[in-house]
Amino acid sequence: MRVFLNPGHAPDGNPDPGACGYGLRECDVAKNVADLAADYLSAAGVEVVSNLQSDSLHEVVSVSNCAEADVFISIHCNACNGVAQGTEVWHHYGSGEGEKLAQCIQNQIVDALGTVDRGTKGAKPGVNGLYVLSNTDAVAVLVELAFIDHEGDAGLLRSRQDEFARAIARGITDYEGEC
């Protein structure tokens, strides 16, 4: 299996660091978690074809498609109002394989870190579609690790990035083994 990892938002936060809260920037958390997940996946014998962080979603999708990735994982931190919390994983609406991958990763993160289970969600083009999910040839999901603007979730994002990465890697290998 070939896995493409996409840490959300621009490298070094320029021009867009993504969501911020409690001294954390989404671009930094996503990059660290993706780097760790890539190491765990490689150690498990899974081919990681790219770990691309870019401010161009078109570039990210093009590189993934050219690499003929089987699985595409975009890693993000959520933000809302400082009150919302938890983990959710998005998949392309109507993709049974995407929904299965999303559920495998969701289960691993919630079980390992005890985050609030916000469930898996289908992104529908033209309604709430997410560009990377709609334009990637691979089975694709977008992982919202936790809420960076919630005090408790931000604490997890700061101190347990390794556990998030391990959970994502286990979710991918669970999917490969048909979790």
Per residue in 101-151, pLDDT (tens digit) is 999 999 999 999 999 999 999 999 888 889 999 999 999 999 999 999 999
Task: Provide the pLDDT for residue 84.
Answer: 97
Rg (CA), the chain: 14
Question: Of 49, 109, 43, 46, which is closest to residue 78 (Cα–Cα)?
Answer: 109
Non-local (6+) Cβ contacts of 103 within 8 A are 89, 120, 179
Q: Tell me if 30 sits within 8 A of 77, measured CB to CB.
A: yes
Output the CA torsion sign for 123, 174, 114, 151: negative
Q: Which two tokens stand for residue 30?
A: 């996503």
pTM over 0.95: yes
CATH of the structural domain 2-176, one choice from 3.40.830.10, 3.40.50.2300, 3.20.20.80, 3.40.630.40: 3.40.630.40
Cα 174 from Cα 73, distance rounded (Å): 14
Q: How far is CA 152 from CA 75, 76, 125, 131, in A?
A: 19, 17, 32, 29
Query: Residue 69 has what DSSP assignment?
Result: -
Task: Provide the pLDDT for residue 179.
Answer: 58
The segments of the chain whose pLDDT lies below 70 read 179
| Diameter of the chain measured on Cα atoms | 40
Task: Provide the pLDDT for residue 24.
Answer: 98
